[in-house]
């Protein structure tokens, strides 16, 4: 980030960003992308949720993915969303006002979920692990809170496979390598 930029490219510290509204707007825009819609449709078909289940969304952001899945849970279902950002949780709570099932969005840590062992039928996390310092700890805590025979859906990006066609193979390789190692975060965790 140079001195002229007002925000970073990531979601590690949304609430401290001077332009949190830009990050929130980007989340809204991203949720409307055809690729994200198709991805979430695929996830929904794979999860095959039914009424009365408990769903945990780790890194819930604005809550739109969890709330879409809540439709399959019926009035006896439960949705819990956890996100590090209080601003995102505030928006998610506002979005949840019309949900058919019980919904709780809370500020929390993906690596220490604060939920009981074996308490969810389904745990999901989408494009979150790449922003964590210790994604393995987050996955371990998700495994702890999912019930035996439960399901975990982990969707993330492998930025090292990002295709770049700028007519300069050396430059493209440099950008790909930078994306792979960007800020020391696990940007290829989707692999």
The C-alpha atoms of residue 132 and residue 156 are separated, in whole angstroms, by 12
Query: In the predicted model, is pLDDT for residue 17 greater than 70?
Result: no
pLDDT tens, 58-93? 999 999 999 999 999 999 999 999 999 999 999 999
Domain range 29-155, CATH class: alpha beta
Query: In the predicted model, is pLDDT for residue 105 greater than 90?
Result: yes
What's the pLDDT score for residue 167? 85
Mean pLDDT across 111-135: 94
Alpha carbon of 146 to those of 53, 118, 119: distances in Å?
A: 12, 5, 6
The C-alpha atoms of residue 56 and residue 142 are separated, in whole angstroms, by 9
Query: In the predicted model, is pLDDT for residue 56 greater than 50?
Result: yes
CA end-to-end span of the chain, whole Å? 26
The C-alpha atoms of residue 181 and residue 179 are separated, in whole angstroms, by 6
Q: Is 8 helix (H, G, I), strand (E, B) or coil?
A: coil
- Average pLDDT score, the chain: 86
What's the pLDDT score for residue 50? 95
What's the pLDDT score for residue 15? 62
DSSP secondary structure of 10-60: S-TTGGG-TTHHHHHHHHHHHHTSHHHHHHHHHHHHHH---TT-EEEEET-
Query: In the predicted model, is pLDDT for residue 30 greater than 60?
Result: yes
What's the pLDDT score for residue 156? 86
Please state the separation of Cα 128 from the chain's center in Å: 4
Give the alpha-carbon dihedral of 184, 80, 70, 12, to 10 degrees: -20
Spans of all domains in the chain: 29-155, 158-191
What's the pLDDT score for residue 4? 43
- 0.85 cut: is pTM over it? no
pLDDT tens, 142-187? 999 999 999 999 998 776 676 777 888 888 888 777 766 555 555 6
Q: Which pLDDT band, with edges at 50, 70 and 90, does 190 fall under?
A: low
């Amino acid at each position: 980030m140079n001195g002229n930029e007002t925000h970073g490219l990531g979601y590690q510290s949304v609430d401290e960003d001077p332009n949190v509204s830009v990050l929130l707007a980007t989340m809204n825009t991203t949720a409307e992308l055809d690729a994200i819609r198709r991805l979430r449709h695929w996830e929904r078909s794979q999860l095959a949720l039914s009424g009365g289940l408990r769903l945990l969304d780790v890194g819930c952001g604005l809550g739109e993915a969890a709330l879409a899945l809540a439709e399959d849970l019926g009035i006896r279902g439960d949705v819990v969303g956890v996100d590090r950002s209080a601003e995102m949780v505030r928006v998610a709570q506002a979005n949840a006002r019309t949900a058919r099932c019980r919904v709780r969005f809370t500020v929390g840590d993906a690596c220490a979920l604060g939920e009981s062992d074996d308490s969810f039928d389904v745990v999901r996390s989408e494009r979150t692990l790449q922003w964590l310092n210790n994604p393995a700890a987050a996955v371990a805590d998700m495994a702890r809170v999912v019930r035996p025979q439960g399901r975990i859906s982990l969707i993330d990006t492998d930025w090292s496979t990002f295709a770049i066609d700028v007519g300069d193979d050396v430059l493209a390789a440099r950008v790909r390598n930078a994306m792979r190692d960007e800020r020391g975060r696990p940007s290829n965790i989707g692999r």
